[in-house]
Structure 1
Amino acid sequence: MKVKDLERTANVAWSPKELSPILLAAGTAAQQLDASFETNAALEIYSLNLTEPGLDLKQKCSFPSEQRFHKIVWGVCGENDTPGTIIGGCDGGIIKIYSASKLMKNENGLIMQQQKHTGPVHSLDFNPFQNNLFATGASESEIFIWDMNNLQTPMSPGSKSQPLEDVLSLSWNRQVQHILASTFASKCVIWDLRKNEPIIKLTDTVSRVRWKVVAWHPEVATQLCLASEEDHSPVIQIWDLRFATSPLKTLENHQRGILSLAWCADDPDLLVSCGKDNRILCWNPSSNQTNGEVLSEIAKTNQWNFDVVWCPKNPAVIACPSFDGHISVYSLMGGKTQQFQTSDKIADSFPGIDGYAQAPVIQPQNLGPVSVDLTKPPKWLKRPIRASFAVSIFA
């Protein structure tokens, strides 16, 4: 069910697991305008405040930005390792690095701005093993590996992948620290940073796919999933690098292209995805069910959700920004979804169209049950294995 809502068109990142209380960073999304045609941009931080009634998130700070953001990530690297560092990818090859502690004190939190890339920076990811390392990807197949201790000279993992394409997604392996996956529209390239070269390229020559995003299995080092944004083939494929000629399985339920997915770090049997069919689905990627097992349809919205992000500290919670100017926070632990009307601002900005401005209200009876109950308890709620011993003594 929806537990919080923020009226922003922004990319989001959760605070690291080590930080308490839970915070959510929101950076104004690039190439998007709200109904008021506002052109200003900002990086903001909000507290989740689940114990407080209502859908509103409480703003902790706001810092203006000259550029809008294509992607933001939040890592633990920083002074005393908390509250860490926020990095944003922008147009013109710009990355911005912020001190979260300075932002929280309402100080100038921008500690570094670099312009090494060509074109917009769409891809960012922190290394889960070495907190000082992060990867960025942009146009013309450009990928850089950055060290927070030396931001002047980023490293390239190897020769640019040919033909030159936009780097749409990057993901560090969750078990092996020197393995990085990069997604292009036509392929997924796996890099070994010890050798500074690609070790394998995944392509699907059978299906008509256009890759959008990649995510590694939280526990199996050789497995990853890829999602296609192609409307004619809106699939999620699970691949194993040991058998890389074809995917292990294909998950099919979205009616249009998939824009984002995320694998739960606390339970590998949970995978969420969102697509251009306005649906947010929770899958069991370990299931052998034909076409994949959908555990729950988390939400059916009025517009596309362009990202979905698990909360590291509370794995029952996900954040989903959408093109209707809202960031919605959902709980997977059951309840009823809430419908949200967003057309009033459109009517305010376009005088004379009042009679046409109201979007159709989605009636629950037309959608069937909107419960988001999972069909089984998540891993973090299961009782740990226990053993009892008894000793019998015979005289």
Structure 2
Amino acid sequence: MPHLKQLDRSATLAFCPEKLPGNVPTLIAAGTVAGAVDMTFSTNSVLEICSLDFANGSELPSVVGSVQAPDRFNRLAWGQRLSSDASFPSMGLLAGGLADGSVCLWDPALIASKSDGRQPLLAKMQKHTGAVKGLEFNTFSPNLLASGAADSDLCIWDLAKPATPSLYPALKHILASSSTNGTTVVWDLKRQKPVISFRDPNSQRRASVLQWNPEVATQLVVASDDDRSPTLQMWDLRNSVSPLKEFVGHTKGVLGMAWSPHDSSLLLSSAKDNRNICWDVHSTDILCELPPSNNWNFDVQWCPTIPGVFSTSSFDGHVAVHSLHACTLPKITERVNADLSVTHQASGETVPLKKAPVWMKRPCGATFGFGGRLVTFANHRVTAMDASGQQVQRDQGIVTLSQAVRSLRVVMMQVVTERELVARSEAFEAAIAGGDKTTLLSYCEVKAKAGKAADVSSMQPGASGSQEDGETWAFLSLLFEAAGAHAGANGSAAGVAPGMGALNLAGSTTTSPTRLHGASGTDGGSATSFFAGQDDDPDFFDKLPDEGLMPNGTSAPATPLRRSAGGADTAHAGTKPAAAGESERGSGAGALMPQLSSLPDMSMEMEDEIQRALIAGNYETAVESCFKANRLADALLIANIFNSSDLYKRTMHRYMKRCPKPFMQIVRANVEGDFEALVRSRPVGQWRETLALLATYTQQEDWTRLCDLLASRLSLAGQHHAASLCYICAGNVEAVVAYWARSLAAAASRANTDSSAASRAAAAAASQAQLEELQGCIEKAVVMGLATGNKKASGALADLVTRYASTLAAQV
């Protein structure tokens, strides 16, 4: 039979009822059993105390002390220490019921310590005339000991003073006894009379052992050693007419029985059929069984301090200590070797326990469910009242005791660790509820102001991030503004250019939308931003100096004034040229001729050529002659007055080629309608001005394409935040969300790197910052989707929403 420890002697056993202080192993007491002899036919009786040191690999328990006993033992009991009396033995009392009818008391501490001359035997009480068959300490009052003998006497001993024990006259508690005639009597020792008696009405079976139910005070189990009725019967004193339950499994009489102190649903029994069975009390089924032994086990005992450990005592000269887990092993067979040694072999399949004992169950547990729910349970040993009013100890879950009614509760609670995240989520949900654009606009403006305030407040390390966030919200807020107009180059009003109100060419984040947008295309309000705030003047071209009319800013060659054949003055060398705008405009060629004769910086031949061309109505030749003479303003004036077919347009194109000023790119793009070339050619560092140009001059159908183009250039140049703002203007939700997702991942990677060597507080702060950034990304993505009406989710947005939903679901 598999075992943990084994003592080679026939003995009755008792475990030390308390765990000793320090690392002292569990102790057991073994007394030579009556009615059995060993191979030497010795008649001595020895009481030994052994140590069960399971850390020691030896199968033999180490003997820590032993004494000679007056006679052999029928029963051995080890009582608890009386804590209220300092003079009481520190390890409790050992009581032995001997074959001569005496009850002896020993101090186990003196036996284990091998005392110096002090006698371990404290008292020998001689009251019974027959062999003492039953012996048990009172669980509630360790100083009380009950003994029963073959003479049918039942004695209650008061051991408060072990040296002078006395019979206890009155006792509150109930006592049960059984006899060989099969009758079980329950005594009320306070009144010193039996309360109830019962026996099996169907058979005259004698009782061998009985045990009270540790959970229900009115129930007890009685076993019989009669081979004709080898069953265990559970009786309930509230109805003692017939047994409540019957445990059927043994084929011969039952000799020993023990109820587990750690799990009241486990009951051990040993019988003459060499079987040791562990029963499930609730179902009366066999829970497990040790492999059959070679001889009868006349006694079984549970260890009160180590769950699942029990002992068996057999008539073949062995006291073994087992674990309940040995019941799960395959069948063990013994084989005698050539050298007469015995080896144990496992055969057959392993049979596990049908149910887990209480001590193997979790004393408490917790698990998180969806939505931040935490479910917990706990198993506590509680004191409950049974139906008869008796207190019983039970291993239960969390219970409520009210009028003897117990209810098991499983606790479910909501655990919120990110309250700020939940609050922000609820506020955002309220803002987007119903999709009201006024509410969304207010929400965006509040966010933009908060970002600006965080940036202006201090020079903190996160200030730049707050500035970018505020600028992003400012652009998003303009997506909901219905005021203002997006004027095209032809002066027709179109929709509002998204986000332009947030542009500031000086670098600030907020300006009025009218700073970049006029009410119509002819207002010219946006030109103020490009030309350093100069006022518009209707006589602007009339006041231009002559030297500004030459290409590359050079002055026209000076020639002296002279009288032409027609009587007009012409310029001579060294004379300052007159302003080109001083000539008056006329409605015909005749009105122009007097003024043309006074044009400076022109030879007589060229002047005559221009006059002849104008007289003949050949305006293109006149314009060509003006270009040859570098009279660009005159060329524009003539082409504007005499605009045949597309003369004026061609003249402007030639003029812009001859005057490659930086601002002429803007004029040329407006004239030719080629804003894509303008976007591609302008420096990326001037993206704000470029975006303002597009807002001022482009049509709505070109706006999205050109903003996307500008954003692509900015992204390639590494200006990702500026690119994201242009993507917002273009309404490109997928591109801007992808940028936000990348920024969030980069920030998380930096935070993880920084927090690896940082303190716990720094790591918690980094985690909180990541959650705030995630919340901000989700808010901006949802707001932009609502503003553009884009209901498609990109891969980047899906990943963000999944992560956000998982985080938020754990909180609410």
Give TM-score scaled by structure 1 length: 0.83
What SS does the corresponding residue of 1:117 show, helix, strand or coil? coil
Distance 1:304 1:177, change over 3 A: farther
Residue 330 of structure 1 and its aligned partner are, at CA, apart by: 0.7
Answering whether residue 412 of structure 2 is matched by residue 388 of structure 1, we say yes
Distance 1:202 1:121, change over 3 A: same
Q: What CA distance in whole angstroms lies between the structure 1 residues aligned with 2:235 and 2:315?
A: 30
1:1-395 → structure 2 map (5 Å cutoff): 1-19=2-20, 20-77=24-81, 79=87, 82-107=90-115, 108-149=119-160, 151-155=164-168, 178-185=173-180, 186-287=182-283, 292-334=284-326, 336=329, 365=347, 369=349, 371=350, 373-383=352-362, 384=364, 385-386=377-378, 387-390=411-414
Q: Is the 8 A contact 1:126 1:134 kept in 2?
A: yes
Q: What CA distance in whole angstroms lies between the structure 1 residues aligned with 2:335 and 2:29?
A: 24
Which digits, 9 at most, give the CA deviation of each residue in 1:30-75, with x for residues without a partner? 1211111111111000011112113111111111123111111001
What SS does the corresponding residue of 1:101 show, helix, strand or coil? helix
Instruction: Tell me whether 278-287 or 58-67 shows the greater mean CA deviation.
Output: 58-67
What SS does the corresponding residue of 1:301 show, helix, strand or coil? coil
Q: What CA distance in whole angstroms lies between the structure 2 residues aligned with 1:44 and 1:179?
A: 32
Residue 339 of structure 1 and its aligned partner are, at CA, apart by: 5.4
What SS does the corresponding residue of 2:106 show, helix, strand or coil? strand
Distance 1:391 1:329, change over 3 A: closer
Distance 1:7 1:341, change over 3 A: farther
Residue 7 of structure 1 and its aligned partner are, at CA, apart by: 0.2
Letter in 1 for 2:305: K
Letter in 2 for 1:181: A
Letter in 2 for 1:230: D
Q: Is the 8 A contact 1:235 1:251 kept in 2?
A: yes
Letter in 2 for 1:313: T
Letter in 2 for 1:285: V
Aligned to 1:166: none
What SS does the corresponding residue of 2:325 show, helix, strand or coil? coil
Q: Is the 8 A contact 1:332 1:372 kept in 2?
A: no
Q: Is the 8 A contact 2:133 2:149 kept in 1?
A: yes
Instruction: Tell me whether 106-115 or 309-318 shows the greater mean CA deviation.
Output: 106-115
Q: What CA distance in whole angstroms lies between the structure 2 residues aligned with 1:42 and 1:80?
A: 24
Residue 333 of structure 1 and its aligned partner are, at CA, apart by: 2.0
Q: Is the 8 A contact 1:44 1:63 kept in 2?
A: yes
Q: What CA distance in whole angstroms lies between the structure 2 residues aligned with 1:255 and 1:267?
A: 26
Q: What CA distance in whole angstroms lies between the structure 1 residues aligned with 2:56 and 2:111?
A: 23
Residue 373 of structure 1 and its aligned partner are, at CA, apart by: 3.8
Q: Is the 8 A contact 2:64 2:113 kept in 1?
A: no
Instruction: Tell me whether 199-208 or 245-254 shows the greater mean CA deviation.
Output: 199-208
Residue 207 of structure 1 and its aligned partner are, at CA, apart by: 3.2
Q: What CA distance in whole angstroms lies between the structure 2 residues aligned with 1:122 and 1:35?
A: 25
Distance 1:200 1:276, change over 3 A: same
Which digits, 9 at most, give the CA deviation of each residue in 1:255-276, with x for residues without a partner? 1100011111111110000000
Tell me which of the two structures has the higher relative contact order, counting C-alpha pairs closer than 8 angstroms and 6 or more residues apart. Answer: 1
Q: What CA distance in whole angstroms lies between the structure 2 residues aligned with 1:56 and 1:254?
A: 30
Letter in 2 for 1:75: G
Letter in 2 for 1:102: L
Q: What CA distance in whole angstroms lies between the structure 2 residues aligned with 1:36 and 1:81?
A: 35
Q: What CA distance in whole angstroms lies between the structure 2 residues aligned with 1:213 and 1:134?
A: 17
Q: Is the 8 A contact 1:93 1:121 kept in 2?
A: yes
Letter in 1 for 2:293: T
Residue 84 of structure 1 and its aligned partner are, at CA, apart by: 1.1
Which digits, 9 at most, give the CA deviation of each residue in 1:216-262, with x for residues without a partner? 11111011101111111100011111111111111100011000111
Q: What CA distance in whole angstroms lies between the structure 2 residues aligned with 1:80 and 1:135?
A: 19
What SS does the corresponding residue of 1:277 show, helix, strand or coil? coil
Distance 1:259 1:361, change over 3 A: farther
Distance 1:364 1:390, change over 3 A: closer
Residue 364 of structure 1 and its aligned partner are, at CA, apart by: 5.9
Q: Is the 8 A contact 2:335 2:345 kept in 1?
A: no
What SS does the corresponding residue of 1:300 show, helix, strand or coil? coil
Which digits, 9 at most, give the CA deviation of each residue in 1:308-336, with x for residues without a partner? 00000012100101000000111002453
Which digits, 9 at most, give the CA deviation of each residue in 1:174-218, with x for residues without a partner? xx9601111112111111122111101120011342210000111
Letter in 2 for 1:243: N
Which digits, 9 at most, give the CA deviation of each residue in 1:57-101, with x for residues without a partner? 111111112311111100123645631110001122211100111
What SS does the corresponding residue of 2:263 show, helix, strand or coil? coil
What SS does the corresponding residue of 1:237 show, helix, strand or coil? strand
Q: What CA distance in whole angstroms lies between the structure 2 residues aligned with 1:340 and 1:115?
A: 45
What SS does the corresponding residue of 1:306 show, helix, strand or coil? strand
Name the one with the larger helix percent. Answer: 2
Q: What CA distance in whole angstroms lies between the structure 2 residues aligned with 1:388 and 1:59?
A: 52
For structure 1, which runs of at least 5 residues remain unmatched after alignment?
158-175, 343-357
Q: Is the 8 A contact 2:159 2:166 kept in 1?
A: no
Letter in 2 for 1:93: G
Q: What CA distance in whole angstroms lies between the structure 1 residues aligned with 2:285 and 2:335?
A: 31
CA RMSD of aligned residues (A): 2.6
Q: Is the 8 A contact 1:30 1:69 kept in 2?
A: yes
Letter in 1 for 2:174: I
Distance 1:177 1:293, change over 3 A: farther
Q: Is the 8 A contact 2:332 2:344 kept in 1?
A: no
Q: Is the 8 A contact 2:89 2:107 kept in 1?
A: no
What SS does the corresponding residue of 1:389 show, helix, strand or coil? strand
Residue 376 of structure 1 and its aligned partner are, at CA, apart by: 1.5
What SS does the corresponding residue of 2:297 show, helix, strand or coil? coil
Greater Rg, structure 1 or structure 2?
A: 2
Residue 363 of structure 1 and its aligned partner are, at CA, apart by: 7.9
Alignment length, in residue pairs?
355
Name the one with the larger strand percent. Answer: 1
Q: What CA distance in whole angstroms lies between the structure 2 residues aligned with 1:149 and 1:80?
A: 8
Distance 1:125 1:177, change over 3 A: farther
Q: Is the 8 A contact 1:144 1:156 kept in 2?
A: no
Give TM-score scaled by structure 2 length: 0.42
Residue 391 of structure 1 and its aligned partner are, at CA, apart by: 7.0
Identity %: 39
Distance 1:268 1:177, change over 3 A: farther
Following TM superposition, the consecutive aligned residue runs of length 4 or more in structure 1 with deviations greater than 3 angstroms are 77-81, 150-153, 334-342, 360-365, 391-395
